[in-house]
Structure 1
Amino acid sequence: MPCPAVPARRNRCYHAHMIVKAMPHNPLSRLGRAIQRWLLGSWRTLLFGVMMISLLFSPASYRRENRRAAAYQIVLGTSGNLIWFSVLSALVSLILIRIVVVTALSYGLSRYALEMVVRVLVLELIPLTAALFVALRRTLPDGVELSEMRSRGELHAMRQRGLDPVRLEFFPRAVAGVFSVLMLAALSCILSLVLTYLSIYGFNHWALPGYTRVVGQIFNPAVTMIFVLKTLFFSLAVSLIPMASALYAAAGAPLHSRSKAANELAAMVRLFAVLLLIEAASLMGNYY
């Protein structure tokens, strides 16, 4: 028996009502689900970090094939970024040094110019810039590559052959990310200190004792410890978060283009949020 005809206007109102009813319009429920996803991603990242630390102290991770994979990723991740980041860091350092020195001279604060340059450039900007550079150039693309390998079944095929993809694929990339951030940050800090001296005092050695004394006063034990811990946490966040997202996110599900973009965006947002929290904690430790 055919259904009775429904007026067009009533039919449209009925469908609109059903669509609105089906939509999750409760802000608290959306916030709860977002917090749940964030906590789940943080927990998986923590588990992945514990796994990487256990592999770091495992003798099996230093067999010949594992050493070769780790060395290849370290060289690939560091050599490709070393020259470009050094040039970029030198240019940005010269610009910032000039801005700070000219501003301090215009306000009659030339005696504080050196301390301002070292604190702003070396303590704050260089570690964060090195972490972001390695994330955009290496670890985030590595996470995408590992996600594509998982979607194609390559990681499952490695397990069927008796190989451990976490030890052979994830661990070398994580170690390479940590090493790259530490290497780029250390090299850029030394380069920035040399450029600061040359920009302020020129090519002479008479101001070297006073310069080293001011730098030593800035890098007291507390500031040095905070600087080292901040750089280390930056390197761990940059290395672990993209790899953990590639390993755990939607495990076993096909990786379509939209879901892949969503996973990449979620990993990037989580990474930037963690970097911001680490930077805020270091600022509180240095200046409060």
Structure 2
Amino acid sequence: MNTQASTLGILQRLHQGAVAWLHGWWRLLHFAVLMFSMALTPASYGRANRPVLARHLVADTVPNLAWYGVLSALVSLVLIRIVVVTSQSYGLSRFALEMVVRVLVLELIPLTAAAFVALRTTLPAGLELAQRRHAAGTASGSELHREFFPRVVASIFAVWMLAAASCVLTLILAYLSLYGFTPWALAGYTRVVGQVFNPAVTLILVLKIVFFSFAVGLIPMATSTRISHGLSDMVRVFGVMLLIEVASLMGNYY
């Protein structure tokens, strides 16, 4: 009897966990559909909502862009130097630029840009909104426009801006680190970079940044429609980002 009771208890907990897991993802899907429908509605960008949207775009992008630009530049310089020295020690100097572009621009910068926005903006904002609410699914249409939609759009835009600006900055730093302040190596540099960024790789990079931004912008805001726990939101966000990164690696190298 004790064994049967413990087995039934385990099965019941597993069932409750699976139902809660499915319910959470259903809530996220429902919230994402609402946000995308608002994004396609002209009224979301009307005179009444425009100041709030503009304020969130500036507040969520400019400080993050400044801090992340400095940090990514410092980290990029260190990693570029490591790659260059390592390639020279093994006699692979001609592959140094390609390795820098693939490691930094294709993989690390999009991932770290999304993680930076999540940790500094969306996860704290989602927790703040969650603390104001006491029941699930009670957000009115005006509240969605006023509180949720601007934050989602701003966080998505912030990821795009951080990733784009940091990719360009890293490419410039890579050129200066490898060739110095000379324009004569520009032709060979653009040829190598162009060979890396073929249409398939470019498409995968763009899709990865877009999906990263959706994960960072939607998941914390979706869970903030109820009283949520910051740790569970963080685990869900970074779990989705890990799956996106694995899918992009498979697309680039398999």
TM over 0.5: yes
Distance apart, 1:265 and its partner CA: 1.4
- The reply to whether residue 145 of structure 1 matches residue 111 of structure 2 is no
Distance change (3 Å), C-alpha of 1:24 and 1:79: farther
Equivalent position of 1:11 in the other structure: none
| Structure 2 CA distance for aligned equivalents of residues 63 and 150 of structure 1 | 26
- The reply to whether residue 245 of structure 1 matches residue 245 of structure 2 is no
| Structure 2 CA distance for aligned equivalents of residues 131 and 143 of structure 1 | 15
- The reply to whether residue 268 of structure 1 matches residue 234 of structure 2 is yes
Provide, for residues 252-280 of structure 1, a one-character-per-residue CA deviation record: whole Å limited to 9, x for no partner.
Answer: xxx5xxxx5xx211111111110000000
Equivalent position of 1:132 in the other structure: 115
Structure with the bigger RCO (C-alpha within 8 Å, sep 6+) is: 2
| Structure 1 CA distance for aligned equivalents of residues 132 and 30 of structure 2 | 21
Measured on the aligned residues, the alpha-carbon RMSD in Å equals: 2.3
Aligned residue identity for 1:83: A
Distance apart, 1:47 and its partner CA: 1.2
| Structure 1 CA distance for aligned equivalents of residues 19 and 85 of structure 2 | 49
Distance apart, 1:35 and its partner CA: 3.4
Aligned residue identity for 2:236: R
- The reply to whether residue 121 of structure 1 matches residue 104 of structure 2 is yes
Structure with bigger gyration radius: 1
Distance change (3 Å), C-alpha of 1:66 and 1:113: same
Equivalent position of 1:3 in the other structure: none
- The reply to whether residue 37 of structure 1 matches residue 20 of structure 2 is yes
Q: In 2, are the aligned partners of 1:241 and 1:267 still within 8 Å (CA)?
A: yes
Equivalent position of 2:243 in the other structure: 277
**Given the alignment, which residue of 180, 188, 206 partners 2:166?**
188
Aligned residue identity for 2:251: G
Distance apart, 1:22 and its partner CA: 8.5
Distance apart, 1:60 and its partner CA: 1.5
Q: Which runs of 5+ in 1 are unaligned?
A: 1-17, 250-254
Q: Which runs of 5+ in 2 are unaligned?
A: none
Distance apart, 1:29 and its partner CA: 4.7
The alignment's TM-score, normalised by the length of structure 2, stands at 0.93
Where 2:183 maps in the other structure, the secondary structure is coil
Q: How many residues align?
A: 253
Provide, for residues 84-119 of structure 1, a one-character-per-residue CA deviation record: whole Å limited to 9, x for no partner.
Answer: 100000000000000001000001111111000000
| Structure 2 CA distance for aligned equivalents of residues 144 and 137 of structure 1 | 12
| Structure 2 CA distance for aligned equivalents of residues 114 and 282 of structure 1 | 21
Provide, for residues 137-180 of structure 1, a one-character-per-residue CA deviation record: whole Å limited to 9, x for no partner.
Answer: 000011011112224x9x97x95xxx611111000000000000
Q: In 2, are the aligned partners of 1:24 and 1:30 still within 8 Å (CA)?
A: no
Aligned residue identity for 1:71: A
The alignment's TM-score, normalised by the length of structure 1, stands at 0.82
Where 1:64 maps in the other structure, the secondary structure is coil
| Structure 1 CA distance for aligned equivalents of residues 180 and 66 of structure 2 | 25
| Structure 2 CA distance for aligned equivalents of residues 22 and 266 of structure 1 | 30
